[in-house]
Amino acid sequence: MIQLFKPRAPTEDHVLLRWALTLLALSFIGVFLILPLALVFREAFGDGFAAAWTAINEPDALSAIRLTLITAAIAVPLNAVFGIAASWAVAKFDFWGKGLLVTLIDLPFSISPVVSGLIYVLVFGLQGWFGESLRDHDIRIIFALPGIVLATIFVTFPFVARELIPLMSDQGREEEEAAVSLGASGLSTFWRVTLPNIKWGLLYGVLLCNARAMGEFGAVSVVSGHIRGLTDTMPLHIEALYNDYQYVGAFAVASLLALLALVTLTLKSILEWRYADEIAAVHHH
Amino acid sequence: MSLVIEKVTKEFGRFPALKGVSLTAPKGSFLALLGPSGSGKTTLLRILGGLEYADLGHVAFEGEDWLTIPARERKAGFVFQQYALFKHMTVAKNIAFGLEVRPRRQRPRAAEICRRVEELLALMQLDGLGGRYPSQLSGGQRQRVALARALAIEPRMLLLDEPFGALDAKVRKDLRVWLRNLHDRLGLTTIFVTHDQEEALELADLVAVMNQGRIEQIGAAANLRNSPATPFVAEFLSGIATPSPSDLSSSLASIH
Amino acid sequence: MAALAPALRWRNPSALPGFGLSLGFTLFYLSALVLVPLAALVIRPWEIGWSGFWAVLSDPRVQHALKLSFGASLIAAAINTVFGLIVAWVLVRYRFPGKRLLDAVVDLPFALPTAVAGIALSALYARNGWIGQPLQQFGITVAYTPLGVVMALTFIGLPFVVRTLQPILVELNRESEEAAATLGATRFQTMRRVILPMLAPSLLTGAALAFARAVGEYGSVIFIAGNLPGVSEIAPLLIIIKLNENDYAGAAAIGVIMLALSFVMLLTLNLLQAWTASRR
């Protein structure tokens, strides 16, 4: 006798409830996430592709794009090196104070981006600790590229470290010990044994680090000085355009960053689906 | 005497892993460190391999001050309990590793490395598996790759940490005999750690029974069984059947 | 190898190389980048002494900004707790076309730059915006009001609850639910008495993370907020205003207060979470 319908398993929800919750979840995500994203592209290209292109091709926008790219090109590799060094120290050795170190690394995530920028102004700004001596030597950190890079580094340095520390801790030390017992030097061991094992986790961390570095707004806003064509990164330029009621221009530049976000999400998902074991054992953002 | 261990002491934090351990072993012998978990046997093995540092004590091997030599330069082939194979490298690359990382002057040519790898693959009865990855091998095969890798560097001593622990009984028995055979052929000083009394007594020339960081007794298998020095040794070694010569030869036959 | 008095050792020496180099570089980076600037933050307010600090704290404008930042963050975190639970449940327990896409989209607030989110949300909820306009018919104004701030902070905090819950839900032992069913409980009772208590600690963790992120949020909020002092001005903006007025000490004071308050709230939430976790 063929069963015409399957009775509901005791741990399954009622079909009406399933529909209701699914629709609720979809609407929530739709309203809060999809709509804003759609709006960015609609406003950018609503007047046609040409209008958006003109806005992006304009000198101030181009220099903002350049500044953003340069900042990321400096901050991301530095933070990657830091992430590797920190996770090597934490994962392959035992020492007192490890927990404190890991907490310190997590610190930027608990600080407001504006405060992140503020602390550099307090050190390097005109009325900051080194303000006078910097001015005497005609070195500009705040309101110039170095300040922007510093603030960006601060806000994004945890990303790579937080991916690699659990990953390398999970992988243990045995392969490296084996390499050393077979006669490999430190560099050799890292290059031939450790790096291949962490490459997807490293890529993942660099991806997140880069997305944040290019999109950082609050911290950079404090240290930048907002000099158009000089110290405006893309997010700051977007703010300037928007406050000037140049909506097409603002959303056109914003759509570039939104596109970057979508590419980041796609790559992130691909890495997560295909290399789940090689990316962090414990995942927390 | 070739290997002289003198009053080696090691503490992890406040936990005393080794409390003044001493032993001597002649060159080329097959020594077993036998004991329950926590007895310090693995710690001692790792100190011999340079993976841990002793707090106190000396070790001399073939006349050299062993503990002052860095792990990299010791040429102590170490086989880990979980094999620690380089999972992203093929079997051949794993075995070749120790030769490829040598400084340029001491590195054999590529063709020579290839030849040695092939030789070891044949010796370990892994012919044709050079291109496989560790994840594609069985436990017994991985074990032999780990051994081949350690032997490739022409080590002065061979250190094995519970080499057969993760394998099932039949494979374990076969590999045991095969390891003994290998040792006899190569004449390498071999030290292995185990908690399995049967294994230790069957394989080793010299067995050191350890407990809570100390050596309770060290001697040939027969001596330990017939005249245990302490109650611990007596109890630890109780209830083991002695393999007869016919058992051994039938095991030998079965792996060829 | 000579003796190293074990009691004085702070690390177990290892055969692996590179300890000095890696730890040294790490500590240098952290000190230069984090510790020294943070020290500047904590020390600066003392320029104006206790009285100055107190003056800042009791300034009504500052008080209102703090209340807005913390209050709106709390409400946003609460909304995200409820809906985050629903989204996580749907993603883990149900199957439907496009589920994987939905799962990937949840991370959008992590990846999207805050300025982009900020102008998008502002345009969305403006009086003539896609959502703002229909709401306007009902007399609800979102843009330039605290409500707008809450909407923006909900966007920002959305992934935290979902991502914290998902792994827990995946590992959740179905057997407890099955046992409850065999004992005669309805799904609703099972949910309330069995499942929710098991999820409570991670719900709280996710809420705490969302809250912490929202309190300091700047970019997503300033466009939609309207920034009217005493009405819709958030604390981070006040810091920037003080900096522009060259009142470094005042800015630092607000920064320190924000850090301290966040620390206290997080500590409370952590204790609460530990308490619920230990009640079993």
For residue C278, give how far its alpha carbon lies from the nearest alpha carbon of chain A (Å). Answer: 22
| Per-residue pLDDT, C7 | 45
Q: Is B95 left (phi over 0), alpha (psi -120 to 50) or beta?
A: alpha
Is the pLDDT score of B240 beyond 60? no
Backbone angles phi, psi at C264, to 5 degrees: -60, -45
| Per-residue pLDDT, B245 | 53
**Which of B48, B101, B149 should we substitute to test contact with A (largest number of A Cβ atoms within 10 Å)?**
B101
CB contact under 8 A, A181 and B51: yes
CB-CB contact of C224 with C125 (8 Å): yes
| Per-residue pLDDT, B57 | 93
Q: Is residue B183 exposed (0-12), middle (13-18) or buried (19+ Cβ within 10 Å)?
A: buried
Q: What is the mean pLDDT of residues A53-73?
A: 93
* Greater pLDDT, B255 or C84: C84
Q: What is the pLDDT of residues B160-182, one digit of tens each?
A: 999 888 788 888 888 888 888 88
Q: Write out the two tokens for B201.
A: 């007594």
Confidence class for position C139, pLDDT limits 50, 70, 90: confident
For residue C280, give how far its alpha carbon lies from the nearest alpha carbon of chain A (Å). Answer: 22
The one-letter amino acid at B168: D
Is the pLDDT score of B247 beyond 60? no
Q: What is the pLDDT of residues A172-194, one digit of tens each?
A: 899 999 999 998 988 899 999 99
In sequence order, what are the residues at sequence separation of 6 or more whose Cβ sits closer than 8 angstroms to the Cβ of residue B172? B164, B199
Whole-number average pLDDT of chain B: 87
Which residues in chain B touch residue A196, judged by CB atoms under 8 angstroms apart?
88
Backbone angles phi, psi at B12, to 5 degrees: -105, 105
Confidence class for position A3, pLDDT limits 50, 70, 90: very low
Is the pLDDT score of A245 beyond 60? yes
Q: What is the DSSP letter of C228?
A: -
Q: Write out the two tokens for B211.
A: 């407990």
**Burial letters B125-151, b for 16+ CB under 10 A, else e:** ebeebbeebbeebeebbbbbbbbbbbb
* Greater pLDDT, B169 or C69: C69
The DSSP string of chain A is ---SSPPPPTTSPPHHHHHHHHHHHHHHHIIIIIHHHHHHHHHHHTT-HHHHHHHHHSHHHHHHHHHHHHHHHHHHHHHHHHHHHHHHHHHH-EETTHHHHHHHHHGGGGS-HHHHHHHHHHHHSTTSTTHHHHHHTT---TTSHHHHHHHHHHHHTHHHHHHHHHHHHHH-SHHHHHHHHTT--HHHHIIIIIHHHHHHHHHHHHHHHHHHHHH--HHHHHHH---TTTT--HHHHHHHHHHTT-HHHHHHHHHHHHHHHHHHHHHHHHHHHH-GGGS-SS---
Note the pTM of the prediction, 2 decimals. Answer: 0.81
A 10 A CB-CB count for B156 gives: 17
- Partner A contacted by B71 (CB < 8 A): yes
Say what angle helices B91-100 and B110-123 make with each other, to 10 degrees.
130
| Per-residue pLDDT, B249 | 56
| Per-residue pLDDT, C79 | 96
Confidence class for position B241, pLDDT limits 50, 70, 90: very low
Q: What is the mean pLDDT of residues A67-83?
A: 96
Q: How far apart are CA C229 and CA C226, in angstroms?
A: 9
Q: How far is CA B79 from CA B39, B42, B118, C153, in A?
A: 19, 12, 20, 55
Q: What is the pLDDT of residues C262-274, one digit of tens each?
A: 788 778 877 877 7
| Per-residue pLDDT, A279 | 58
In sequence order, what are the residues at sequence separation of 6 or more whose Cβ sits closer than 8 angstroms to the Cβ of residue C147? C140, C141
Taken as a whole, chain A contains a residue count of: 285
Q: What is the mean pLDDT of residues A105-126?
A: 89
Backbone angles phi, psi at B8, to 5 degrees: -75, 130
Q: How far apart are CA C196 and CA C203, in angstroms?
A: 9
Q: What is the pLDDT of residues C5-54, one digit of tens each?
A: 444 467 777 788 888 899 999 999 999 988 988 898 888 888 888 888 88
Which of C 35-74 lie inside 8 A of A, CB atoms? 35-38, 40-41, 44
Nearest to B80 among A174, A188, A196 (CB): A174
The one-letter amino acid at A98: K
Confidence class for position C277, pLDDT limits 50, 70, 90: low
Rounded to the nearest angstrom, the gap between the alpha carbon of residue C196 and the centroid of all alpha carbons in its chain is 22
Confidence class for position C166, pLDDT limits 50, 70, 90: very high
Q: What are the DSSP E strand ranges found in B13-81? A: 15-25, 30-34, 56-61, 64-65, 76-79
Q: What is the pLDDT of residues C204-259, one digit of tens each?
A: 889 988 998 899 999 999 999 988 888 889 999 999 999 888 888 889 999 998 88
| Per-residue pLDDT, C72 | 94
Whole-number average pLDDT of chain C: 86
Q: Write out the two tokens for B131.
A: 């291109």
Tell me which of A91-105, A268-282, B210-224, C26-40 is least confident.
A268-282
Which residues in chain A touch residue B98, judged by CB atoms under 8 angstroms apart?
182-184
Closest CA to C243 of C233, C234, C232, C255: C255
In sequence order, what are the residues at sequence separation of 6 or more whose Cβ sits closer than 8 angstroms to the Cβ of residue B178? B255
Q: How far apart are CA C221 and CA C151, in angstroms?
A: 9
Nearest to A178 among B50, B73, B78 (CB): B78
Rounded to the nearest angstrom, the gap between the alpha carbon of residue A143 and the centroid of all alpha carbons in its chain is 23
Chain C neighbours (≥3 Cβ pairs under 8 A) are A, B
The residues facing B190 across adjacent strands are B30, B158
Size of interface A-C (CB pairs under 8 A): 290
Rounded to the nearest angstrom, the gap between the alpha carbon of residue A106 and the centroid of all alpha carbons in its chain is 14
Tell me which of A218-227, B89-98, C155-164, C223-232 is least confident.
C223-232
Alpha-helical runs (H) found in chain B: 41-49, 71-74, 91-100, 110-123, 139-152, 169-186, 197-203, 221-226, 231-236, 245-254
Is the pLDDT score of B22 beyond 90? yes
* Greater pLDDT, B121 or B104: B121
The DSSP string of C109-164 is HHHS-HHHHHHHHHHHHSTTSTTHHHHHHTT---TTSHHHHHHHHHHHHHHHHHHH
Nearest to A181 among B71, B86, B88 (CB): B71
| Per-residue pLDDT, C6 | 44
Q: What is the pLDDT of residues A154-164, one digit of tens each?
A: 999 999 998 89
**Burial letters A87-96, b for 16+ CB under 10 A, else e:** bbbbbbbebe
CB-CB contact of A254 with C115 (8 Å): yes
Q: Write out the two tokens for A209.
A: 């680090």
The one-letter amino acid at A2: I
Q: What is the mean pLDDT of residues B47-76?
A: 89
| Per-residue pLDDT, B246 | 52
Confidence class for position A284, pLDDT limits 50, 70, 90: very low
Q: What is the mean pLDDT of residues A44-73?
A: 92
Is the pLDDT score of A47 beyond 50? yes
Backbone angles phi, psi at B190, to 5 degrees: -120, 130
CB-CB contact of A141 with A150 (8 Å): yes
Q: How far apart are CA A237 and CA A44, in angstroms?
A: 15
Is the pLDDT score of A208 beyond 50? yes
Q: What is the largest CA-CA distance in chain B?
A: 56
Q: Order of strands, edge to edge, in the sheet holding B56-61?
A: B15-25, B3-12, B56-61, B64-65
Confidence class for position C4, pLDDT limits 50, 70, 90: very low
Is the pLDDT score of A1 beyond 70? no
Is the pLDDT score of C3 beyond 90? no
Q: What is the DSSP letter of C217?
A: -
* Greater pLDDT, B243 or B90: B90
| Per-residue pLDDT, C2 | 41
| Per-residue pLDDT, A96 | 85
| Per-residue pLDDT, B248 | 55
Q: How far apart are CA A86 and CA A70, in angstroms?
A: 25
| Per-residue pLDDT, B104 | 83
Q: What is the mean pLDDT of residues B49-58?
A: 90
Backbone angles phi, psi at C172, to 5 degrees: -60, 135
| Per-residue pLDDT, A221 | 94
In sequence order, what are the residues at sequence separation of 6 or more whose Cβ sits closer than 8 angstroms to the Cβ of residue C164? A284, C202, C203, C205, C206, C209
A 10 A CB-CB count for C114 gives: 24
Is the pLDDT score of B79 beyond 50? yes
* Greater pLDDT, B98 or C272: B98
Q: What is the pLDDT of residues C72-127, one digit of tens each?
A: 999 999 999 999 999 999 999 888 888 888 998 999 998 999 999 999 999 999 98
Whole-number average pLDDT of chain A: 88
Confidence class for position A113, pLDDT limits 50, 70, 90: very high
- Partner A contacted by C187 (CB < 8 A): yes
Confidence class for position B243, pLDDT limits 50, 70, 90: low
Tell me which of A37-51, A80-94, C46-60 is least confident.
C46-60
Tokens 């100055």 belong to C52
ipTM: 0.87
